[in-house]
Amino acid sequence: PLDIEIEDIALGLSRVTRWNGQTTGVHAYSVAQHSILVEELFTFEYPNLKNKWRLAALLHDSPEYVIGDLITPFKYALNNSYREVEENLMKAIYIRFGLPAKVPKSIELKIKRIDKALAWYEAIAVGGYTPVEAMQILKKPDLRLPTPTINPLSSNAVAKKFLTKFNEITLNIN
């Protein structure tokens, strides 16, 4: 945990692409930008939760700053080896930033719910899928979320935005 710096996470995630880099737009859609949107939608959907859980939402894909983002089918093909590395790194990241090594299952499920909902919107906004095609691979979100605007930003802009979001959340952690 002591070797983990938020600046490294922000920079790394800003340069790791979602959808294996196969997205539309001038810039690649990054894991950092995805993480910012997950936190924003999580906060919208669950406004009364403590800031520490907002932080968990922002950091939910942070291990990818080291190990990259593998598409879900490939993660399953690697069996548990990838997930074990990912989980251990996640624990270290959470500890480093004052969260429990394992967030409560109820919070984990809420973050996953938002993460999956955002994947639906991403598929249509930057993944090149029509809504009909997206329904074939992803479940359409059943949330009261506003439709997020997804315009891929440059890695430098996203890294800065990620750090700003991190500082905003941790300034008022509870």
Q: Is 90 exposed, middle or buried (0-12, 13-18, 19+ CB in 10 A)?
A: buried
pLDDT band at 172 (very low <50, low <70, confident <90, very high): confident
The reported pLDDT for the residue numbered 174 is 61
- Could you tell me which residues come within 8 angstroms of residue 121 by beta carbon, excluding any fewer than 6 positions away? 141, 147, 148, 150
The reported pLDDT for the residue numbered 140 is 82
DSSP strands (E only) in 27-162: none
Q: 23 near 29, Cβ under 8 Å? A: yes
The reported pLDDT for the residue numbered 153 is 96
The reported pLDDT for the residue numbered 48 is 95
* Cα 127 from Cα 100, distance rounded (Å): 34
Sign of CA dihedral 111, 70, 16, 10: positive
The reported pLDDT for the residue numbered 147 is 84
The reported pLDDT for the residue numbered 119 is 93
Write out pLDDT tens, residues 98-156.
Answer: 999 999 999 999 999 999 999 999 999 999 999 999 988 888 888 777 888 899 999 99
pLDDT band at 11 (very low <50, low <70, confident <90, very high): very high
Write out pLDDT tens, residues 42-55.
Answer: 999 999 999 999 99
Global confidence as pTM: 0.94
Write out pLDDT tens, residues 56-108.
Answer: 999 999 999 999 888 777 777 777 788 888 999 999 999 999 999 999 999 99
